[in-house]
Amino acid sequence: MTPEFAVDLLRNAFFVAGIASGPMVMAALIVGVAVGVMQAATQINEASVSFVTKLIAISITFVVVGAWSLQQLVDYTTRAFSSISTIVQ
């Protein structure tokens, strides 16, 4: 195994992890900012409001894009396992 191949494998792993988790993280970010603005405007500083709304947003996002994210992870894992023969030689 060459160092370039190892770096490429690790870079692809980080990229796929970002692609698979990106929609859920973005949903949490958007909802968190919106809830934070609403809490600042209404002066209701309850932590459970922010947590529950983020949890709901992440759950909905996972239902919508979960199959696609899982397919990305499965494709990467398949490519990684199929490259084992290249690594061994």
Q: What is the pTM of this model?
A: 0.77
Residues 38-84: tens digit of each pLDDT: 998 988 888 888 899 999 999 999 999 999 999 999 999 998 888 88
Specify the higher pLDDT residue, 1 or 74.
Answer: 74
- Looking at residue 56, what is its pLDDT? 96
Burial of 32 (0-12, 13-18, 19+ CB in 10 A): middle
Give residue 45's identity as a one-letter amino acid code.
Answer: N
Looking at the predicted structure, is the pLDDT value of residue 86 above 80?
Answer: no
Cβ-contact 20, 73 below 8 angstroms:
yes
Residue 59: its pLDDT value, please?
95
Distance of CA 82 to the CA centre of its chain: 24
Q: Which two tokens stand for residue 72?
A: 């990305």
